Amino acid sequence: AQSVAQPEDQVNVAEGNPLTVKCTYSVSGNPYLFWYVQYPNRGLQFLLKYITGDNLVKGSYGFEAEFNKSQTSFHLKKPSALVSDSALYFCAVRDMASGGFKTIFGAGTRLFVKA
Amino acid sequence: DTGVSQNPRHKITKRGQNVTFRCDPISEHNRLYWYRQTLGQGPEFLTYFQNEAQLEKSRLLSDRFSAERPKGSFSTLEIQRTEQGDSAMYLCASSTEQLNTEAFFGQGTRLTVV
């Protein structure tokens, strides 16, 4: 079965410091990977995706993610965190085993950026 | 606003009552998804439509749940005889057919069953 794991429930970082939110995946075949962000009482907003190509993917709001096939990881990164980045972040994989029409989400990682 | 729209945003209902939620997807998207999200968890897949056809239902979707997309545009999710365990955020998303495209989510409907 296809799945993603987010090993950290919470990540704390000081404003201006680099941040990393971790994600590992388990898929059969080539992975289609996504990161979404959720602010309080809001739906999910798409940040970036990896389908194929360069291992470093750039997305919205200065975020980027590094795809590592050997480590089956897709960690989300940002060089300099902002207080406004504080939110819930979800890693997700497209379930190609069932035809690719549904996306499976991790449990989420709450990011706190302290001023 | 051309995003995914969900109504109502909040619903409080008594146990045993029926509730219905509506989702209006992005107009050119022919795929529509329903997810449920409980506190501290990621969204869990409930069901999926390609145009008006409902192609898969999760085992999470008991017989009390039904979803429709009659004309391939908006969709409704109905929960009959609500239970306290149904309290959650219900999220709708839509996308095009291409596998390499992301889904766009609405702001969700938060259901509280008292």
Predicted confidence (pLDDT) per residue in B10-35, tens digit = 999 999 999 999 999 999 899 999 99
B104 touches chain A (CB under 8 A): yes
pLDDT digits (tens, 9 = 90+) for A44-97: 999 999 998 889 999 999 999 999 999 999 999 999 999 999 999 999 998 877
- pLDDT exceeds 60 at position B65: yes
What is the pLDDT, as a whole number, of residue A40? 83
**Distance in angstroms (rounded) separating the CA atoms of residues A114 and A58:** 24
Is the CB of B103 inside 8 Å of chain A's CB atoms?
Answer: yes
B73 touches chain A (CB under 8 A): no
Interface test with A, best of B1, B69, B102 (most A CBs within 10 A): B102
Does the distance separating the beta carbons of A43 and B105 come in below 8 Å?
yes
Q: What are A16's two structure tokens?
A: 């201006």
Confidence of residue A28 (pLDDT cuts 50, 70, 90): confident
Compare A29 and A48 and report the one with higher pLDDT. A48
| Helix (DSSP H) and strand (DSSP E) numbers for chain B | 0, 11
Contact A94 B50 (CB under 8 A): no
Residues of chain A contacting residue B31, judged by C-beta atoms under 8 Å apart: 101
- Residue with tokens 């749940």, as numbered in its chain: B65
